[in-house]
């Protein structure tokens, strides 16, 4: 189980949204680099960096912040938000991301994603499936993606991607536990997927449950900022 803390960026600050609502944002730190360094010092090796400004604008916005974190820590950073073209992908890799996170583009333009996979390799991509009532949502969770989660995962596996994280929007930032049943269903239908849980992970018990059902990783945001999970608990869980 890979533990992946999340840093979500709006206006250069570390924030968390509740249920994907930009109007319900809470600023946790004015300096995301400081947060990343804190995670690294505690023994964390991965980071999920989300450019929420970019997701909303449809273009990468917080590239400079990615460069700072990638150059001043040894964290393996996956970065997403507003990536639309192969030039964007190259730009994000050049800025220091180890992995590029693709959400809406995988739904809208899977043929472009296929080209990127051929160019850079499937291991360099993490596909984000944002879900409400088992249906995919896109464009910063603002639009319906027109496909269900199980079909979408099958489609991604079909083009060679198995690294997928799934966020249940109803759970995200709500601190009410993750969608265990949804993840179980995905893993039953698509056992080859390397599924990363995201949204609602609130206690260390949630992490144990996700490990038990076969999730490959967990993205954890608000629980770390609110202190309902301590980093040392996560490090102990992983060791």
* The pLDDT of residue 120: 97
pLDDT over 90 (residue 236): no
* The pLDDT of residue 65: 97
Cβ count near 191 (within 10 Å)? 9
Q: Is 130 a catalytic residue?
A: yes
* The pLDDT of residue 173: 67
Structure confidence by residue, pLDDT tens digits, 187-198: 999 999 999 999
Tell me what the pLDDT averaged over the chain comes to.
93
Lowest mean pLDDT among 39-43, 79-83, 171-175, 232-236: 171-175
- pTM for the structure as a whole: 0.94
pLDDT over 70 (residue 82): yes
Q: In the chain, how many domains are there? A: 1
For residue 125, the cross-strand partners are: 100
For residue 27 the two structure tokens come to 């600023």
Annotated active-site residue in 53, 130, 168, 216: 130
Tell me the backbone φ, ψ of residue 218, rounded to 5 degrees.
-140, 130
Domain of 215, in residue numbers: 2-238
Q: Is 53 a catalytic residue?
A: no
What CATH number has the domain bearing residue 206? Answer: 3.20.20.70
**Sign of the dihedral through C-alpha 53, 56, 57, 60:** positive
* The pLDDT of residue 140: 66
Structure confidence by residue, pLDDT tens digits, 138-184: 876 678 899 999 999 999 999 999 999 999 988 876 678 999 999 99
């Amino acid at each position: 189980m890979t533990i992946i803390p999340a840093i979500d960026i709006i206006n250069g600050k570390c924030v968390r949204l509740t249920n994907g609502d930009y109007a319900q944002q809470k600023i946790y730190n004015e300096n995301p680099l400081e947060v990343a360094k804190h995670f690294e010092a505690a023994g964390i090796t991965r980071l999920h960096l989300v450019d929420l400004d970019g997701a909303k604008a449809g273009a990468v916005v917080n590239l400079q912040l990615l460069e700072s974190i990638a150059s001043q820590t040894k964290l393996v950073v996956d970065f997403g938000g507003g990536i639309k073209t192969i030039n964007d992908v190259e730009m994000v890799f050049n800025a220091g991301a180890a992995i590029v996170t693709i959400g809406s583009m995988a739904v809208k333009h899977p043929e472009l994603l296929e080209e990127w996979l051929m160019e850079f390799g499937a291991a360099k991509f993490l596909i984000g499936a944002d879900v409400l009532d088992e249906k995919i949502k896109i464009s910063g969770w603002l639009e319906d993606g027109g496909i269900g989660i199980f079909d979408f995962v099958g489609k991604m596996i079909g083009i060679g991607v198995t690294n997928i994280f799934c966020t249940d929007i109803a759970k995200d930032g709500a601190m009410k536990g993750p969608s265990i049943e949804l993840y179980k269903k995905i893993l039953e239908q698509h056992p080859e997927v390397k599924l990363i849980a995201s949204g609602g992970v609130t206690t260390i018990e949630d992490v144990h449950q996700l490990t038990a059902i076969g999730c490959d990783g967990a993205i954890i945001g608000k629980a770390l900022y609110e202190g309902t999970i301590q980093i040392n608990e996560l490090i102990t869980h992983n060791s």
